[in-house]
């Protein structure tokens, strides 16, 4: 029986062991199974590279449920993700991947760092969508890189980058559709991938911390930009509203 079935059928009891990494939005724990990790979502929201951190009640629960819902939608289209099963309101059991140190960003509308790098009008529709790669390195402030850097610096193989590009376009189409049906626009998002026995899997998380989502009619920001830009809106209520609108029901 494969790992997913074993865990889903609950024959394999996963036990949390040691904290192995603490990020800005999640804590990672090892388990009694060396192929399996537990991700615990945090209440923290940070801006300016972690300089400012604020805790929000329920943020951990909303992001865990939202991520689980989106990841399951993605895997229903035959894209492999690291998700195995929900452990609790704010924790999820995942496959342990060897993470690729690249942030993959997909952009459908112009906003954020794109506006600083190009003379492009805010909110312009980008067609076809732009894919960007960033080297994950806090010390270097995640510099933008291209496919040549990725391959020559051995961050990823040529074959895997080809596959990831295809997967990113497919995920973008799946998600754009889900949001559009809820009268929402998927502006951009960031994803990360990893390898398990040489196979590619979508890792990390999809949440409103690493994507931009606007109301389709008013263009109101519904994502982490509310916190980044200190807008006069309740960021947690907004996260909840997006989740509920796409069918991921959160009370
Ligand atoms: P930008 O490059 O415009 O700052 O970000 C593009 C998209 O990727 C946004 O949806 C943003 O939330 C996400 N993103 C980019 N870098 C990071 C990062 O280091 N952490 C997180 N959580 N999201 C990121």
Give dist(CA 26, CA 244) in Å, integer: 22
Distance 71 CA to ligand 1 centre (A): 18
Q: Are residues 106 and 156 in the same domain?
A: yes
Which contiguous run of DSSP H or E holds residue 152?
helix 147-152
Same domain, 106 and 182: yes
d(Cα 244, Cα 240) in Å, to the nearest integer?
Answer: 6
- Among protein residues, the one with the nearest Cα to ligand 1's atom 2 is 113
User: Is there a single domain that holds both residue 82 and residue 132?
Assistant: no
Domain count, the chain: 2
Contact 214/184 with Cβ under 8 angstroms?
yes
In terms of phi and psi (left: phi > 0; alpha: psi -120 to 50; beta: otherwise), the region of 175 is alpha
Q: Are residues 138 and 227 in the same domain?
A: yes
pTM of the model: 0.96
What confidence score (pLDDT) does residue 251 get?
A: 80
- Classify 215 as helix, strand or coil: strand
Nearest CA to 56 out of 44, 41, 39, 71 is that of: 44
The rounded Å distance from CA 224 to ligand 1 centre is 10
Residues with CB under 6 A from ligand 1: 103, 105, 112-114, 142, 188-190, 209-212, 224
Per-residue tens of pLDDT for the chain, all 251 residues: 666 666 665 557 999 999 999 999 999 999 999 999 999 999 999 999 889 999 999 999 999 999 999 999 999 999 999 999 999 999 999 999 999 999 999 999 999 999 999 999 999 999 999 999 999 998 999 999 999 999 999 999 999 999 999 999 999 999 999 999 999 999 999 999 999 999 999 999 999 999 999 999 999 999 999 999 999 999 999 999 999 999 999 88
Q: Based on the fold, state whether residues 85 and 159 are members of the same structural domain.
A: no
For residue 82, the CA-to-ligand 1 centroid distance in Å is: 20
Considering the domain architecture, whether residues 42 and 122 belong to the same structural domain is answered as no
109/60 same-domain check: no
Range of the domain at 197: 99-246
**Domain CATH number, residue 147:** 3.30.470.20
pLDDT at 8: 61
Q: What is the pLDDT of residue 113?
A: 98
pLDDT of residue 234: 97
Domain assignment of residue 251, yes or no: no
Shortest-distance atom of ligand 1 to CA 134: 16
Based on the fold, state whether residues 225 and 105 are members of the same structural domain.
Answer: yes
Q: Is the sign of the CA dihedral 5, 8, 14, 16 positive or negative?
A: positive
Rounded to 5°, angle at Cα 160 from 154 and 166: 140
Q: Ligand 1, residue 24: give the atom nearest the CA.
A: 22
Give the H or E element holding residue 168. helix 158-181
pLDDT score recorded for residue 49: 84
pLDDT of the residue at 5: 60
Q: Rounded CA gap, 203 and 97, in Å?
A: 7
CB 145 within 8 A of CB 137: no
Same domain, 108 and 33: no
How high is the pLDDT of residue 222? 98
The CATH number covering residue 54 comes to 3.30.200.20
Judgement on whether residues 92 and 185 belong to the same structural domain of the protein: no
Q: Looking at ligand 1, which atom is closest to the CA of residue 114?
A: 3
Note whether 140 and 225 are same-domain residues.
Answer: yes
Measured CA to CA, the distance from residue 228 to residue 210 in angstroms comes to: 12
């Amino acid at each position: 029986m494969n790992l997913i079935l074993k865990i889903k059928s609950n024959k394999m009891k996963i036990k949390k062991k040691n904290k192995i990494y603490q990020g800005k939005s999640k804590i990672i724990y090892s388990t009694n199974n060396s192929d399996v990790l537990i991700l615990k979502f945090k209440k923290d929201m940070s801006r300016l590279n972690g300089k400012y951190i604020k805790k929000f009640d329920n943020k951990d629960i909303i992001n865990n449920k939202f991520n689980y819902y989106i990841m399951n939608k993605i895997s229903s289209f035959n894209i492999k993700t690291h998700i195995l099963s929900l452990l609790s309101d704010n924790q999820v059991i995942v496959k342990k991947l060897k993470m690729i140190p690249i942030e993959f960003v997909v952009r459908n509308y112009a906003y954020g760092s794109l506006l600083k790098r190009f003379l492009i009008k805010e909110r312009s529709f980008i067609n076809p969508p732009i894919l960007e790669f960033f080297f994950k390195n806090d010390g270097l402030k995640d510099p933008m890189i291209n496919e040549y850097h990725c391959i020559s610096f051995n961050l990823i193989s040529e074959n895997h980058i080809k596959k990831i590009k295809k997967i990113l376009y497919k995920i973008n189409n799946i998600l754009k559709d889900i949001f559009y049906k809820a009268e929402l626009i998927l502006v951009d998002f960031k994803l990360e991938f990893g390898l398990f026995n040489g196979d590619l899997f979508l890792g990390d998380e999809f949440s409103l911390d690493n994507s931009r989502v606007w109301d389709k009619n008013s263009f109101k920001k519904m994502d982490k930009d509310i916190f980044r830009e200190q807008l006069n809106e309740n960021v947690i209520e907004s996260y909840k509203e997006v989740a509920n609108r796409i069918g991921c029901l959160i009370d």
